[in-house]
Structure 1
Amino acid sequence: MTAVAIKMYTQEEYLELERAAEYKSEYYRGEIFAMSGARLNHNRVKENLSIAVGLFLRGKSCSSLSSDMRVHIPENTLYTYPDLLIVCGKPILLDEHMDTLLNPSVIIEVLSPSTASYDQGKKFHFYRSMQSLVEYILIDSQEVGARVHRKGSDGVWFVSSEAYEIEGSIEIGHIGLTLKMVDIYDQTIGIL
């Protein structure tokens, strides 16, 4: 058997390719990983969150950005596209292209069958190295379920809020927003 060599890319090569690509890819330690499309419920949940968070933040010092905003974590080389993020204060961008954020305050990932393990495990580990990040929120797209991880003043992460019933709610403490599960899952199919 012959081993297949994996092409390795520099961060600069990745950014050049990504900025010209018709699809999104993530980057980690020289490797590029194509992102797959999302299913209906994933998109519906993401849209519901985007609307609720965006309306709540209107006129405030924080703003939300959708999954088209790339995030970079210099400490571990990861370039990724969170489903939704919140940045408070002035956004710090990688360069003049203004397409890569370095300082999200809150990241929200909507779990899909193909990404759930990664989002809850290794990706969360990567995200925790960001000094600016204070909350990481996971929302299930297959059944009612949400969990908010918050960084304490001592730097230790803990679960600050979670809900697994449609009558429940979660709190994004950093911005003071309570989200009802019924609103998060509005118009989803087969969940409610």
Structure 2
Amino acid sequence: MQLQTKPQYYTPEEYLELEETAEYKNEYRNREIIPMVGGTTNHNQIAGNFYRRFPLTINNQDYYSYMESVRLWLAEYNLYTYPDVMVIKGEPIYHGEGTSNVTNPQIIIEVLSKSTQGYDHTDKFQFYRSLPTFVEYILIDQYHYSVEQYIKQSDNQWLVNFYSGETAILKLSSVEWEITLQDLYQRVNFESEEE
């Protein structure tokens, strides 16, 4: 007979305190702390390629981009999470004390892995859609040249575009910016089986 263990619950404040000294990142989902799966070199390379190439100013408007260590707070779902890359138009709006938790991304980029792709496509996308500033979601496959782009429409519906192949060009909808998949996947080794 297997013993059932009761889940341990935490307040957001307890989570944030524990996260300060944690050896690895954790997500906070409605009172539970969920360890995040470790990233791979390909995952990190792709996120870094997007982050490094995204400009800070487009058409005289300021943008801030953050990668992996800045948390996103989603009040409606009582959730703290770490998107791979976030783009914020104008100044970031912070939650709580300090500058580690933001609430107003315009664009969120997630690099898909075998263990997280289901979550990124379903629950996580639903959580992100609760943010009024969020209008564009980019999902990047780390195993081959493939990108999904979700664009919020005026009627709260989401349009999806698919990009595949090395020569395809990802054109963002909410800002005037584009990147070739060749540049997005620069220095990625598809033959390495990590994870």
TM bucket, shorter chain: over 0.9
Query: What is the total number of aligned residue pairs between the two structures?
Result: 190
Secondary structure of the corresponding residue to residue 125 of structure 2:
helix
CA deviation after TM superposition for structure 1 residue 58, in Å: 10
Aligned residue in 1 for 2:126: 125
**What does 1:133-172 correspond to in 2, within 5 Å?**
133-159=134-160, 161-172=161-172
Aligned residue in 1 for 2:44: 43
CA deviation after TM superposition for structure 1 residue 76, in Å: 0.6
Gaps of 5+ in 1: none
8 A Cα contact 1:57 1:63, kept in partner: no
Secondary structure of the corresponding residue to residue 183 of structure 1:
helix
8 A Cα contact 1:93 1:100, kept in partner: yes
Aligned residue in 1 for 2:82: 81
8 A Cα contact 1:64 1:87, kept in partner: yes
Gaps of 5+ in 2: none
Aligned residue in 1 for 2:4: 3
CA deviation after TM superposition for structure 1 residue 55, in Å: 6.0
8 A Cα contact 1:148 1:171, kept in partner: no
Aligned residue in 2 for 1:185: 185
Residues 1:58 and 1:109: Cα distance change in structure 2 (over 3 Å): farther
Secondary structure of the corresponding residue to residue 62 of structure 1:
strand
Aligned residue in 1 for 2:63: 62
Q: Aligned residues: percent identity?
A: 37
Distance in 2, matches of 1:114 and 1:56, equals 35
TM-score, normalization: structure 1? 0.93
TM-score, normalization: structure 2? 0.91
The AA in structure 2 aligned to 1:164 is S
Secondary structure of the corresponding residue to residue 93 of structure 1:
coil
